[in-house]
Structure 1
Amino acid sequence: MTTGLSPMNRALNLVPKRAESRQTEQLRDTFVDSGVAIVLESVDHQVLYGRRGTGKTHAFRYLATEVKRNGDIAVYLDLRTVGSPEGLFLGEEVKPTERASRLLVDLLNQFHDALMSEALEDDELIENTHLVTKLDQLLDSISTVRVSGEVEVSKEGEKTETDRSSFAAKLGFKAPELEISGETGTEKRKLTTETRRGTESISLNFSDIARALRELFNTLHGRRVWLLLDEWSSVPGDIQPHLGEFLVRCLLPLQGLTVKVAAIEQQTNFRAALPSGQMIGLELGADIAANVSLDEFMVFEENRERSREFFKSLFFNHLIRGGPLNSPIAHIATSPQGIVRHGFTDSRAFDELVRAAEGVPRDALNIASKAAVRAAMQKISVHDVRAAGRGWFQSDKEAALRSREEASRLLNWIIDKVIRERRARGFLVNQKQATNPLLLSLFDARVLHVVRRGYSAQDEPGERYDVYVIDYGAYVDLMQTRYAPQGMLPIGDSDNEDEEPQFVDVPTQDLRAIRRAVLDIDVFLGSQYPR
């Protein structure tokens, strides 16, 4: 137990940082809608993109509660719990099709179990005998095993002296090839010996599975099933297109079914070409819509007031609405504003926390937790937030880049070019370079954030740029030095350090005015920047 903390700081430190740690009702109570909920409530198939910590799982869990409240059936599956080591990690030792088949069987088994659990808890479904029959047929459709090689089958008769008659009668079954005598208790049984000399592999027939699923949904009498597939990016990249092809052939065409997929965009491989040239997998826009991105919903650079209100509600919901009923802070923080008044030295300290979070809820909760421990019995100050932001960056984000030396070098190069030389925290990147793997890895690690996409300049027709900002934790050490960022995007052409720099938050349409804000990643790739 943490000691030496004020009640407010102790509560901030104990807030669960992941949605999986919450009970269903708590997830509903702690959810703060940034605008994504109404989009997800559409019956269309959708992909929900978002980096780690932006709230994909929380949004799916909240959606599941809404679906159930409306009378439909929600099946939430975490793909991190699907599959086996042999199917996921053996790589070239097992063909992708075989690994994908094993994953699909496990996925459908979990889908079956989830529907069965829903039926047991639903007064209407539990009386539906047809549903149970169709669930059994679904299991039959995924139980086919193919053997490549020889199979020997032999039979021979054998008499055994045992009394099985009463046991069989009690169970009410009739076993094939079984003769029972109630008087003598003698059982004559034909034993079958099967020797397999080939290699077993799973054999799935998509038409059989689709038929079983279609007949299953027909027993639900109009109740829609919402299949929420979370953590798609945890599936190995070479298997993802095969899993996507299954969705296209067996699930997406079914009436009465809505499929939502949560994924990290930079780690997603929905579609691929087979050696034959045939394309398999999900085609975004055609098979499934990709119109939801939490990375865009959570950007608050253009509306700081909305940012403050969102995070006030976030902390209030987690501390009060999702906390214990007898929480010692429940009577002092009766509103979102009360969290700021009783937990922080002033509004400036809370604004610093909002700035440090860079629009990522999980980062906000972790930075607040570290700041609360540092503040101990005092209210959280700006200095506490800055120290916590630096610590969270070093322990979580920077640590994730240590295995990627080139990505770390690129981050240091960007910090030197943007912050030290230009005293800015933002920059522009031509979209032609936006798919660079190193740049994407920095974005995925949440050390860079995109605040605007597709910016076009009048003097460069056809060229589009994305606006990036550097994470708070990457430059917080420089905030008390002469290199402290003075604004977002530098303007003007002069690099003279003696001149007072000028900045804009919104790019102008005349790119010549903000030419200094453009960062050319190819310059780094062709340089000998210190290793």
Structure 2
Amino acid sequence: MRAINSILMRLAKRAEKLQPEHLVKSFVDVGPTYTLLSSTDNQIMFGRRGTGKTHFLAVLHNDVFNKGIISVPIDMRLIGSTGGIFSDQDIPLSERATRLLSDTLCMVHEVILEYIFEHNLENATETAQLLNDFIEQATTLNIEGISEKETGSSNQFANSTSAKAGFSNIGMSAGLTASEKTTSGDTTKNKVTGKKVLRIHFGAITKLLNKIVSKLPNKELWVLIDEWSETPLDLQPYLAELLRRILFPIPGITVKIAAIAHRCNFMEHDFETNASIGIELGSDASSVINLDEYMVFDNDSEAAKKFFKSLLHRHAIALDKNSICDQEVSLFINDVFSQSSSFDEFVRAVEGVPRDAINIISLAAQTALVSKISIAHIRKSAQKWFQVNKHAALNSRPAAVSLLDRIINEVIGLRKSRGFLISNDKSYELIDYLYDMRIIHVLKQGVSAQNAVGKKYTLYALDYGCYVELMSSRNAPLGLIIESDENDEVQYIEVPKSDYRSVKNSILDLEIDHGQSRLELVTSTEHLQLPNKQKRNTIAVEKPLDKKLLNAIPKNIGTLKITGTIYIPIILVALVLRKAKGFDTSCASDLTKVINEHIVININRPKIATNNMSRELRKDNTLDLDWLVFQKNGRNPLFSLNDKWKKYWKLYFGKTAPRL
């Protein structure tokens, strides 16, 4: 097994399992996210599972703590009493929320108390007394019910006299005893019947907390709440309201909350009374950060590739104890993947989700073992991760499986695309569920079309795992979505836009079932079937390039000229590389791509433009080359090598041609 594959197999899948120093070493920022999160504003950070919310909060906690500021990390999965009272529908919402707040405040008390004694603060005694008062206010129980009082009295008198006489060998003895005992008393009993209810006095506890914060280092306190969505949905507005009343008004307290967008409810509004409880996004919480908006390949391929290069590199470096990984990120990526197209395929497969990325690369390393990771390894691992992780969870919602079956058959089967648009006029719970489960992904919101003025859509893409089996077949998706021009001619679009001419061929209307009554029979992922899955005509998946072949390529490619041009040796090398990958014929863009992959591997050479390659391939002196075969193919002519290429390789480069 390659040592670097061994490291990739051991990458940690969850941030809470890691030590703080490892979290810091492996952290990769997403655009301006960490800068925004580091402000003292109260903020909410949204992101689906696996997008790095816990990692962000852990690094933020570490940075704040290192500045000498007390930070309280709270995992809502671990907050609460036994017995499941927070989910007990028989207990009033207000009482359940108050108990949950009390447990949260107890966590704040515990962290502050531990800090002030560990760091020997000057005013530790005074602060500790304030904390005692604080915890008393946070946990005070009142009894609501009927009070009864019993009063009674008792008097007792006792008198006794006795006389005794006797003889023995020693002599005679006699005795007289008398006793008298009088007892009296009053008894009072208090009996209270009723229910103990937790009452938190907002004014008193806020006043105490304000005093406590004024005694803390830098007069600051950060509260970082993770896994908010684990709180029962009906409780969330009440807990949010209590936090807003107690923590938000105090100068020096900063609150950050990490949540899953479709699994949280920060505000409840009563339209009859026009009253609201909870946190108003954008007002009470001054800014909202959404991690789902970043890192998707289709949105910005270069930004996504840059992020996932750093993600893999930093996670591997953090584990590497034997200096196996190259410190230069580009060289590290070249050592992991067989070619740059393999890395591109990896970034597409992870769909912008860091946890999926770590799991897929770990599985790919297990598959590759002694070789570099190729496209075939990525596809096999992505399919396995989708089936093991996402299929199992999806089976708990048969209706969601039915909907997914419809989307797959309509979008991939009929349209041969992987994206679709849904109108914003109505929300769909099952679509939100598929999104939360990372089965579909949001690429762009607020999309409009010239043929539907005033309408707004959300652009979704199916997860890579939904169609990876088709990637090496003729049934593979041809593009992201279909756009129509003014002549109603369609074309496939790869890069998502905000405005299109016409998107009628890409809209998924969930109100119309198109007569697909068969969908009701699909209630398990075992029944899902890709279009023509059993009858596909497969094409060969490209082979990884051998290291010996890459080393055989002359180092002066890009500067070496044959008959006055650098392109003749470049075209020869490109066709050889394509042939080694398993492709007998290639077009200009194929040759450009493969030569640029080689240039990336050597990192110090300029890239070749496709239009320059096309222009050179149209020239007569190129087409007349003795080793080049030209084949007409409409606007995309194809090129290949004949048996004479080895002779010209030695003629051009002065060494024997590599064996393919």
TM tier, shorter chain? 0.7 to 0.9
1:466 Cα deviation after fit: 1.4
Alpha-carbon deviation of 1:482? 2.3
**Match of residue 509, structure 1, among 479, 499, 503:** 499
Contact 2:298 2:494 in 1 (8 A): no
Q: Does 1:117 align with 2:117?
A: no
Cα 1:384–1:500, aligned 2, differ >3 Å: closer, same or farther? farther
Q: Aligned pair in 2 of structure 1 residues 105, 525: CA closer, same or farther (>3 Å)?
A: farther
State whether residues 88 and 235 of structure 1, in contact with CA within 8 Å, keep that contact through their aligned partners in structure 2: no
- Asked if residue 385 in structure 1 is aligned to residue 378 in structure 2, the reply is yes
- Conserved? CA contact 2:270–2:276, under 8 Å: yes
Kindly provide the CA deviation profile for residues 345-403 of structure 1, in whole angstroms up to 9, marking residues without a partner as x.
22221211111110110000001111111112222111111111011111111221111
Question: Is the CA contact (8 Å cut-off) linking 2:248 and 2:254 kept in structure 1?
Answer: yes
- 1:50-129 to 2 correspondences below 5 Å: 50-123=47-120, 125=121, 127-129=123-125
1:352 aligns with 2:328: no
Q: Which residue of 1 aligns with 2:283?
A: 286
1:149 equivalent to 2:145? Answer yes
Does the Cα contact within 8 Å between 1:446 and 1:471 map onto a contact in 2?
A: yes
Q: Offset at 1:229? A: 0.7
Corresponding position of 2:439: 447
Is contact 1:237-1:269 (8 Å) kept?
yes
How big is the shift at 1:153? 7.1
**Given that residues 490 and 504 in structure 1 are in contact (C-alpha distance below 8 angstroms), is that contact kept between their aligned partners in structure 2?**
no
Tell me, in whole angstroms, the C-alpha distance in 1 between the residues paired with 2:451 and 2:215: 61
Paired with 2:39 and 2:286, the residues of 1 have a C-alpha distance of 11
Is contact 2:46-2:290 (8 Å) kept?
Answer: yes
The answer to which of 216-225 and 422-431 deviates more is: 216-225
> Which secondary structure state, in structure 1, belongs to the residue aligned with residue 281 of structure 2?
coil
Q: Could you give the per-residue CA deviations for residues 445-503 of structure 1, whole angstroms, max 9, x where no partner exists? A: 00111111112233433211111111101110111222201111112389x9xx99633
Larger relative contact order (CA 8 Å, sep ≥ 6): 1
Distance 1:449 1:218, change over 3 A: same
Share of identical aligned residues, percent? Answer: 37
Secondary structure of 1:252's partner?
coil
Change (3 A) 1:526 1:112: farther
Cα pair distance change 1:229/1:194, threshold 3 Å: farther
Give the match's secondary structure for 2:223. strand
The aligned counterpart of 1:456 is 448
**Is the CA contact (8 Å cut-off) linking 1:147 and 1:199 kept in structure 2?**
yes
Structure 1 stretch displaced more, 439-448 or 135-144: 135-144
What is the root-mean-square deviation in Å for CA atoms of aligned residues? 2.7
**Aligned partners of 1:127, 1:80: CA distance in 2, in Å?**
33
Q: Write the letter of the residue equivalent to 2:431.
A: L
CA drift of 1:290 comes to 4.2
Give the structure 1 partner of residue 23 of structure 2: 27
Structure 1 residue 235: deviation in Å? 0.2
Contact 1:371 1:388 in 2 (8 A): yes
**1:202 and 2:231 aligned:** no
Equivalent residue for 1:297, pick from 290, 294, 298: 294
- Unaligned runs of 5+ residues in structure 2 are 153-185, 522-660
Q: Deviations over 1:128-184 (max 9, x none)?
A: 33221211111111121121223557899xxxxxxxxxxxxxxxxxxxxxxxxxxxx
**What is residue 477 of structure 2 aligned with on the other side?**
485
Change (3 A) 1:151 1:373: farther
- Partner Cα separation in structure 2 for residue 440 and residue 155 of structure 1: 65
**Superposed, which structure 2 residues align to 1:154-303 within 5 Å?**
195-220=191-216, 222-273=218-269, 277=273, 278-303=275-300
The residue aligned with 2:356 is: 363
What is the rounded CA distance, in whole Å, between the counterparts of 2:439 and 2:92 in structure 1?
36
Give the match for residue 428 of structure 2: 436
**5+ residue gaps, structure 1:** 157-189
1:398 is matched by which residue type in structure 2?
H
Which deviates more from structure 2 when the two are superposed, residues 111-120 or residues 276-285? 276-285
After superposition, the Cα gap between the structure-2 partners of 1:510 and 1:375, relative to the gap in structure 1 and judged at 3 Å, is closer
Q: Residue 459 of structure 2 aligns with which residue?
A: 467
CA distance in structure 2 between the aligned counterparts of 1:120 and 1:452, rounded to whole angstroms: 50
The residue matched to 2:505 in structure 1 has which SS? Answer: helix
Distance 2:389 2:149 in 1: 58
In the TM superposition, residue 113 of structure 1 has moved relative to its aligned partner by: 0.7
Tell me the CA shift for residue 115 of structure 1.
1.3
- How far did 1:194 drift? 6.4
Specify the alignment match of 2:546 in structure 1: none
Bigger mean CA deviation after superposition, 234-243 or 285-294? 285-294
Question: Aligned residue for 1:314?
Answer: 311
| 2:468 partner amino acid | V
TM-score normalised by length of structure 1: 0.85
Structure 2 CA distance for aligned equivalents of residues 317 and 41 of structure 1? 21
